Amino acid sequence: MMGSPTNVTEAMDKLWSAVEQKNNIKINYVESPQVSQTYHDKLVTMFSAKDSSVDIFNCNGTVWPPEFAAAGWTLPLDKYFTASDMQDHMPAYKQAFSYKNELHGIAHLYDVGMLYYRKDLLDAAHLQPPTTWDELVAQAKQLGANDQLAGHAASWSKGEQVVCRLVEFIYGNAGQILDDNQAVQIDSPDAVDGLQRMVDLVQKDKVTPLAATTWETGDARQIFTEGKAIFTINWNFVWAQAQATGSKVIGNVGVGLVPKMKAPKSAATLGGWGWSINAASKNVDASVAAIKTLTAPEQMKLMFLEGGVVPTRISLFKDADFVKQYPHAQVMLDIIEGAVARPRHPRYREISEIIQTESLTAINGQKSPKQAGSDIAAQIKPLVA
């Protein structure tokens, strides 16, 4: 079994013990590289060699399943997990781990883009959290955004972070990058207008600093928890960081849905991890049994209470212990209902690289969003043909 890069060692030890006792099997846990891309490449090397030494592995559920499933590297799980088994699992993750209508993993870690805002500042001005980008811009200006207090701290440096945030602008404007038939749509008017809104935050509205094109996820989080930003869009981990010792915004943070444009509902980028089985495994039955234990309610609660891992079972979001730490639990459920994945294609890595480069040229003012959309489309069409 190979795990993902998380600092939850003691909780994981208890989890493995539970799996061993429940199923009368022995777990040999191998810690994965801390960098997701390094971990991915290690898995690819192993799978390409049909190496069966690892049975179960922790899979990035939002981008890897199509690549791994298309190559025949992961075992379809449909015959092992019934509709009843999956009833409590979030639909967004069932879809994320599916490829060509086959299930290739069971999610265990919830993560999704969400709006964090300075509740104290909004409350003092009698403002409700913004639901559209136009509202966010207006509120940021009303609350006095300046060089010392960013209206919107964004993580738009070159990497997956800028793709994740671009997805929210495009789908929040009823656009798409690829449609359900894998046809390129990023040069459509709705998609281009989504990128235009993103660019305008920097170039026109001046509520997102141009420096955001150099900020990674952790940078935007730090700026926000230091009290130097009014709004930020980031992952689930920011909530705990905002309440931790050293934060300058303890008790003053609210959580809401990612702002949208003309789409009927908010579109937050889906993140998260899950357990998949190596197609070369010689221990399929034991692997299935292990995953069923790993993703059982009691084990997910263990990982939440002792490891801080947010679960993917709907019922646990109503658990009193969970709500105590995440009083916005219902908001988290609302967010996941509208969550969207990055392009689900076996060649996603190449697609992502193109989107990163071209979208940043637009954000930096080097080309128009329309030209960037056209250039992205021209480059990714051969990849998805």
Instruction: Dump pLDDT digits (tens) for 208-254.
Output: 999 999 999 999 999 999 999 999 999 999 999 999 999 999 999 99
> What count of other Cβ atoms lies within 10 Å of the Cβ of residue 244?
10
Residue 88 lies in a domain: yes
If asked whether residues 175 and 131 sit together in one domain, one would say yes
Residue 121's CATH number: 3.40.190.10
Where the chain has pLDDT below 50, the residues are 4-6
Report the pLDDT value the prediction gives residue 24, as an integer from 0 to 100: 97
Question: Does residue 312 contact residue 300 with C-beta atoms inside 8 Å?
Answer: yes
Q: What is the DSSP string of 187-227?
A: TSHHHHHHHHHHHHHHHTS--S-GGGGG--HHHHHHHHHTT
Residue 342 lies in a domain: no
If asked whether residues 208 and 279 sit together in one domain, one would say no
Question: How many distinct structural domains can be found in the chain?
Answer: 2
If asked whether residues 91 and 144 sit together in one domain, one would say no
If asked whether residues 362 and 330 sit together in one domain, one would say no
Residue 35 lies in a domain: yes
If asked whether residues 94 and 76 sit together in one domain, one would say yes
Report the pLDDT value the prediction gives residue 43, as an integer from 0 to 100: 96
If asked whether residues 258 and 276 sit together in one domain, one would say no
User: What is the rounded distance in angstroms from the CA atom of residue 249 to the CA atom of residue 118?
Assistant: 8
User: What is the rounded distance in angstroms from the CA atom of residue 197 to the CA atom of residue 267?
Assistant: 15
Residue 2 lies in a domain: no
If asked whether residues 294 and 205 sit together in one domain, one would say no
If asked whether residues 256 and 307 sit together in one domain, one would say no
Residue 4 lies in a domain: no
If asked whether residues 178 and 231 sit together in one domain, one would say yes
State pTM to two decimals. Answer: 0.95
If asked whether residues 212 and 138 sit together in one domain, one would say yes
The domain of 144 spans 114-268+347-384
Report the pLDDT value the prediction gives residue 1, as an integer from 0 to 100: 62
Report the pLDDT value the prediction gives residue 5, as an integer from 0 to 100: 43
Report the pLDDT value the prediction gives residue 64, as an integer from 0 to 100: 97
If asked whether residues 293 and 367 sit together in one domain, one would say no
If asked whether residues 209 and 234 sit together in one domain, one would say yes
Sign of CA dihedral 223, 226, 228, 230: positive
